[in-house]
Amino acid sequence: MKAFLFPGQASQYVGMAKDLYAEFDIAREYFDKADDILQLDLKHTCFEGPEEKLVRTEYTQPAIFVHSVIVDAILKKTGSRPQLAAGHSLGEYSALVSAGVFTFEEGLAAVKLRSQLMQKCCDDNPGTMAAIVGLTLQQVADVISGIDDVVPANYNSPSQVAISGTRQAVEITCEKLKNAGAKKTVMLAVGGAYHSPLMQYAGEKMTEFIESLNFNKFEFPVVANVSAELIDDPVKIKELLCEQVTSPVLWYPTIMRMDAFGIDEYYEVGPGKTLQGLLKRSLKGRQYSMTGIDRVEHLDKFVGEKA
């Protein structure tokens, strides 16, 4: 059984989707629509950079979303469809487009607002995130409990947790976590303190927007970030999306839910290899396959003749 996994922020890189734009009509169509809808030079920023611009939330989120949805659309045209999908943070919007809950244009409008609101939070309340390797969620939580302005943000694998908060608090916490036995701490290439109370304003405004949308029936279930539950109810996913901006991403529980469902074939649909690495750490000892689909060369075996 097959699942599509959609990446979130920190998966971006200069040059992303440039080869897809050159090869596929649907890539050109979606990027041209995105530039019109966003009123940003998204194509140029994705293809040529500079990196300092691409890492800004207002560019990063649409870039990853558009790249992922293009790859998903190409796969669907070849007849490759999943039984389940999930997306890491921002990637949940890509997963919901894949499941038919809303269209590319509707999803992009939501991502546009989300990125703008989160960028405002980044500017008004500067912060950052770090990945902690070698400690469990409980071990990280125990250390964080005595420190203000930092929270666990992503439960990524059995031994990787991302923390989020003000830069000073994250740096202090990283040192304390090293002393507590963390193998390493890595500052993430993100624009702010996502999935933390510093995003409260964005969460409130996104709730107003999401509640105004009409969601379609699911073509297949999506495992939600906030609860790690299989969701195929438009009302329920709307409630969970409203909570998502400030709630932790339960990615490791999400993968465990998919594993229990019987998924043994995983595809990372979009830029980077982050989710492949997390899957490898999460499914040790299990039989499964994982394929990253990012560039034209990865699509050759699915497409045959290029569209």
pLDDT in tens, 117-140: 999 999 999 999 999 999 999 999
What fold characterizes domain 2-124+196-303?
Malonyl-Coenzyme A Acyl Carrier Protein; domain 2 (3.40.366)
The one catalytic residue in 98, 195, 196, 282 is: 195
- 157 classed as catalytic: no
pLDDT mean over 195-206: 96
pLDDT in tens, 93-122: 999 999 999 999 999 999 999 999 999 999
- Which class for 79: exposed (0-12), middle (13-18), buried (19 or more C-beta within 10 A)? exposed
Could you please report the per-residue DSSP string of the chain? -EEEEE--TT---TTTTHHHHHH-HHHHHHHHHHHHHHTS-HHHHHHH--HHHHTSHHHHHHHHHHHHHHHHHHHHHTT---SEEEESTTHHHHHHHHTTSS-HHHHHHHHHHHHHHHHHHHHHS--EEEEEESS-HHHHHHHHTTSTTEEEEEEEETTEEEEEE-HHHHHHHHHHHHHTT-SEEEE-S-SS-TTSGGGHHHHHHHHHHHHTSPPPPPSS-EE-TTT--EE--HHHHHHHHHHHTTS-B-HHHHHHHHHHHT--EEEEESSSSHHHHHHHHHSTTS--EEEEE-SHHHHHHHHSS--
In this prediction, residue 222 carries a pLDDT of 98
Q: What is the CATH code of the structural domain delimited by 128-187?
A: 3.30.70.250
Q: What does the domain layout of the chain look like in residue ranges?
A: 2-124+196-303, 128-187
* Confidence class for position 304, pLDDT limits 50, 70, 90: low
CA Rg value for the chain: 18
* Confidence class for position 305, pLDDT limits 50, 70, 90: very low
Nearest residue to 142 via CA among 200, 171, 88, 182: 182
In this prediction, residue 247 carries a pLDDT of 96
pLDDT in tens, 208-247: 999 999 899 999 999 999 999 999 999 999 999 999 999 9
- 89 classed as catalytic: yes
Cα dihedral across residues 137, 249, 87, 101: positive or negative: positive
The one catalytic residue in 11, 89, 94, 115 is: 89
pLDDT above 90 for 57:
no
pLDDT mean over 199-210: 96
